[in-house]
Every structure is written in structure tokens, then in C-alpha cells.
Amino acid sequence: MKLSERVRYVGVNDFRMKLFESHWPVPEGISYNSYLVIDEKIALLDTVDAAFADEFIRNVKNELGDRKIDYLVINHMEPDHSALVSFIRNEYPECTVVANSKAAQMLEGYQGLTDNVHVVKEGETLQLGETSLQFFMIPMVHWPETMATWCSEEHTLFPGDAFGSYKAVPPCISDCKSNLFDEYKEEMIRYYASIVGKYGQPVQAALKKLGNLDIHRICSVHGPVWEKEIPEVVKLYDNLSQYKAGCGVCLAYGSMYGNTEKAAKAIASELEKRNIPYGIHNLTAEDYSYALRDVFKYDTLIVGSPTYNMEIFPPVRQFMEGVADRGVKNRKFAAFGSFTWAAASVKLLNDMAADAGFELLSEGISFKQGYAPEKFDAASLAEAVISAGK
């Protein structure tokens, strides 16, 4: 597919995979994006997952015909983008692999490749003819070897996983003909929260490094090609990496026998009455990446858990640990939960929130045994959210 006369898309969609990284659900699939820059010499930027070798090489040869690949640029060594490096070298034996020093070490470790590897440094340029590729190191976005490749003549940035998204890409690939940002925004945030979220400072450093480039096209390795909506995409990444969030509530809970769930739904009802935006997530029935997404979207987190063996219910603890692991900052917090003979979960949730530096809206609400409205003042939590936002 032509993005321009010189830049072509040769990636694939994956609808077979249920769990990305064997961990994160992708119910609408995911794309592995790869690109060609075609000039006197030809560069292939990244490959795709190993399961798609046949489709991938067909895509490449449909664009190139009998021409050969001169350079294979590795922006990121994670196997969903680098698994077919040896495969491409077998198809095009004279192809030079272009990588930075950290990626070159990984290439040897993963695939045993050391010959015909050109190691590039920060700012180095590779001439293809009338076009050139320049390389910028963006470590920890989200692996230490990650780099971005810049084609100034095409005003095109190839940033690896940065600006990526879950969800397979449409036939048009690019947002230039349709508004894809609104369609992909939620999955972009979920992708960032689950994959990149821990690395806010490195993302900020990358944005500053790349900020002076005159970018007209962003070719990430997952999700759409961004052309029309670049300002919105960059602003989203800037906000996410600074842990900025809109007014609203991520309401997440786990429930063993339905009592904490009833309390959660009572809170949701009170938030709705007050027109407070919220997302509600049952952590025993839904992957916690959806709740993580809303932690990055909203400035308040309300979490419910029954006391379980004098601890936090395990699915809720896993979620809270995930929030802490990502270094989320500047959030308000409240806890609630049920217990049968001894209350512990609310205090422990408050302790985890305090350790994360969150502002506690209240001491939380514990109720004993079965749920009843008179035992649980859901309205007080909703009012605490409003008061904290004033």
C-alpha cells in the first residue's frame, strides 16, 4: 500500500491472537506494522510477528517486484517486530541490518546474527538516494534499545512502539481519509497504560528530542498511520506520560459473593446522579488493563475489595500493584469493601494508595457481612469526589 511514492506499508493484521504478550486481551486484533522506503536503495523498517512470514514476504514483494532490500532497520528488538530478521536475510542475503549497539547485542542473543550488521549512533544518517534516514535513540520507550528513524524528505517518523495502539488497522491504514483518532483513542490509552505506562520520563525525553522535527506522518509499529491527527496523538502521549488526567472516576472492584459488587453499583449510581464521568470495572470478570486505562484517563480512583484471609482480595491487589508499578501520580483515592468477621481490606488499600502518593478522599467505608443501603453511604464517596474537584 502506498503512503507516498517512496513510503509503502507492508504490515499485517493479527486476528488469531487472544492475548498480546500472552497477557493483554486484544478482542479487535492487533497490527504489526512494517514499512518500505524506496529510492535508489531500499530500506525495510522493522518486520512482523513470525506467524505471518508468508503474508509479510508477499506484501514486500508486491511492492518491490524483483528489486532487492538493501537495508533492514531495526527500531525495536521485541520479537513481534524483529522475529523475521533472519528470514529477510535469507530472502535478501546482501541486505545490511541497521541497528544501534544495544539492539545489535539483542540481535545476536535472539537470532545469532553478527555478520553484515551496521551499528548506528545518535543522529547518524543513512543515504538512500534522494531520501535519507536519520536515527534518534529513545531508550525505554519501552525497551532500552528502542530508536526512532526519521525520513526528513518525506517528513515521516518511524518511532517503534511509540504512538501505538491495540486493534487491527483498517484497509485505508492512514487517518488521512477518516477520523481514526476517535475510533482508536481508547485502545491507544489502554496500550499505553499496559505496555508503556511505567516509562513516563523516557517518553517525555523522547517527545522533547523529536519535538523540533517537521512531522507530517507518524508510522508506528502498531495501529494506524497518523497524518491528519498528529497534534491530537502527540498531545495524548504528552498528557499520558505526565500522568495528566481528566475529571472523573475509575471505579474498580472485586467481589466474592456479590456484596462488594452491590456497593460498587451503588457508588456508580451516585456518580451518575451527579454527572461525574466514570468507568466501572469488575476485576474478577474483566482483564485489569481496562481499569488501568481508566486510571490514566481519570483523576480519581475508587477501589473496592472484600477482606480475604485478612488481606486484599487477590484480583484487586494485582490491580493495585499494577497501578503502583506504573508510577501513576497525582490521583485522588477512596476505598470501600465488605468483611465477615474482621475488617482489613480498606485499611490495606488506603496504605497502598498512600504509598503511591495518592490523596485520600476519606478513610473509606467498610461494611459487615451482607450489603444493605443503610450500611453503606455511597453518596458520601460521590460528594467527596465533587468536593476534591472544587
Please say whether the beta carbons of 334 and 364 come within 8 A: yes
Binned at pLDDT 50, 70 and 90, residue 177 comes out as confident
Per the prediction, the chain carries an average pLDDT of 96
Per the domain annotation, does 2 fall within a domain?
Answer: no
pLDDT digits (tens, 9 = 90+) for 48-62: 999 999 999 999 999
Per the domain annotation, does 288 fall within a domain?
Answer: yes
Cell digits for 359?
490523596
Q: How many domains does the chain have?
A: 2
Question: What region, left, alpha or beta, does residue 123 occupy, with left being phi > 0 and alpha being psi -120 to 50 degrees?
Answer: left
Per the domain annotation, does 42 fall within a domain?
Answer: yes
* CATH number for position 98: 3.60.15.10
pLDDT digits (tens, 9 = 90+) for 300-332: 999 999 999 999 999 999 999 999 999 999 999
Dist CA 369 CA 372 (whole Å): 9
- Are residues 199 and 338 both part of a single domain? no
Please say whether the beta carbons of 215 and 155 come within 8 A: yes
CA distances from 301 to 126, 271, 359 (A): 48, 13, 10
- Are residues 68 and 25 both part of a single domain? yes
Q: Return the closest-CA partner of residue 289 out of 23, 30, 31, 78.
A: 23
Question: What is the C-alpha end-to-end distance of the chain, expressed in Å?
Answer: 51
Per the domain annotation, does 218 fall within a domain?
Answer: yes
How high is the pLDDT of residue 176?
87
Q: Is 256 exposed, middle or buried (0-12, 13-18, 19+ CB in 10 A)?
A: middle
Last residue of a domain, one of 179, 209, 241: 241
How high is the pLDDT of residue 352?
97
Q: Return the closest-CA partner of residue 139 out of 196, 215, 223.
A: 196
- Are residues 194 and 277 both part of a single domain? no
- Are residues 141 and 13 both part of a single domain? yes
Residue in this structure with the C-alpha cell 545476536, named with its chain if needed: 108
The sign one gets for the Cα dihedral 35, 46, 171, 189 is negative
Per the domain annotation, does 1 fall within a domain?
Answer: no
- Are residues 215 and 281 both part of a single domain? no
Residue 156 has pLDDT above 80, yes or no: yes
- Are residues 214 and 140 both part of a single domain? yes
Dist CA 313 CA 307 (whole Å): 6
Could you tell me how far CA 217 lies from the centroid of its own chain?
19
- Are residues 256 and 378 both part of a single domain? yes
- Are residues 321 and 378 both part of a single domain? yes
* CATH number for position 335: 3.40.50.360
Dist CA 307 CA 305 (whole Å): 6
Binned at pLDDT 50, 70 and 90, residue 389 comes out as confident
Per the domain annotation, does 197 fall within a domain?
Answer: yes
How high is the pLDDT of residue 1?
83
Please say whether the beta carbons of 99 and 107 come within 8 A: yes
Residue 5 has pLDDT above 70, yes or no: yes
pLDDT digits (tens, 9 = 90+) for 269-312: 999 999 999 999 999 999 999 999 999 999 999 999 999 999 99
Last residue of a domain, one of 200, 223, 241: 241
Question: How many helices (H) does the chain have, and how many strands (E)?
Answer: 12, 23
Q: What is the mean pLDDT of residues 87-114?
A: 94
- Are residues 348 and 329 both part of a single domain? yes
Q: What is the largest CA-CA distance in the chain?
A: 76
Q: Is 53 exposed, middle or buried (0-12, 13-18, 19+ CB in 10 A)?
A: middle
Look up residue 271 and give its DSSP letter: H
At 348 the three-state DSSP class reads: helix
**What is the extent of the structural domain holding 305?**
247-389
- Are residues 33 and 71 both part of a single domain? yes
Q: Is 338 exposed, middle or buried (0-12, 13-18, 19+ CB in 10 A)?
A: buried
- Are residues 313 and 204 both part of a single domain? no
- Are residues 200 and 269 both part of a single domain? no
Last residue of a domain, one of 241, 269, 298: 241
How high is the pLDDT of residue 183?
95
